[in-house]
Structures are given as C-alpha cells and as structure tokens.
Amino acid sequence: MPTRRLNPLCDRIGRENVERVIAEFYLLLRSDDLLSPFFVDLKNPAEHERRIVEYWWIAMGGKPLGAPVETGMVSVHAGLGLTAAHFERWLELFRKTLDSSLDPPLAKAWMIMAGGVAARLRSALAIV
C-alpha cells in the first residue's frame, strides 16, 4: 500500500514568506481609501500583524510559535459596519499582494483559503 505524504501549504510557502506577504498586504490596507479607516486606531499594529501571520501560519498547517492565537474573528468584526464592498476590496488587495509575492500555484492555493475565510466571515456576519 502506498504511503500518503502530506505537503502542507505552510511548508511550501515558508514562514518568512507568510510574514512578508502579510507585511506587504497591510501596507496596502493602510493606504486604501475604503479599508484604511478600520486600521487607523489599532493600538498595536505590529502585534496585530503578528497575530494575523500566526493565524495564517496555523491555518496552513504550521505549528504555533509561542502562545496560541485566539482569533474571535466574528466578534472582532461584528460591530465594524462591514459591507460586501469591504470584503470584495479586501479580497482584491489580498490577491494583488499574493500575485506579486508568490509563485502562481502558491498564490492560488493561499487565495482559495482566503476566499473561504472571507465567505465564512461574511456568512457569520449575515452580510449579503
């Protein structure tokens, strides 16, 4: 019987690339007219980005570095007044970042994950 070999996305992308992609993505977010207002009042932007890196790293199959990240993603985003346009723009900027930062197969794999995360969050927030 053949042995199944796992090849998690975290191993194919690498932690350094996850960190780089998120840093580049947040530069775009903070300069975007539609999305930047959500990031202006972050108390600790570096800590926020670290948490986002850790979220994606674990979602891709990586082992947590340090204390586990508690996301509470729905509760964090619930009172922000997000609309479908916000999600669409977020995905557009994420795709742009991935396409300019990673080889196409890796960018596509991560973008599929991002689309799923956005769809689940939109559904949980009842955003049509």
pLDDT in tens, 27-40: 999 999 999 999 98
CATH number for 9-124 (one of 3.40.50.1820, 3.40.50.10190, 1.10.490.10, 2.60.120.560): it is 1.10.490.10
Compute the distance between CA of residue 37 and CA of residue 29 in angstroms, rounded to an integer: 9
The domain locations on the chain are 9-124
Q: Work out the average pLDDT over 95-108.
A: 98
pTM of the model: 0.90
Compute the distance between CA of residue 126 and CA of residue 92 in angstroms, rounded to an integer: 21
The distance in angstroms from the start CA to the end CA of the chain is 47
HSE-CB for 51 with a 13 A CA cutoff: 11
Given a contact cutoff of 8 angstroms between Cβ atoms, the answer to whether 65 and 19 are in contact is: no
The string of pLDDT tens digits covering residues 56-74 is 999 999 998 876 667 688 9
The reply to whether 77 sits in an annotated binding site is yes
Compute the distance between CA of residue 51 and CA of residue 48 in angstroms, rounded to an integer: 5
Compute the distance between CA of residue 40 and CA of residue 34 in angstroms, rounded to an integer: 12
Q: What are phi and psi of 100, to 5 degrees?
A: -90, -5
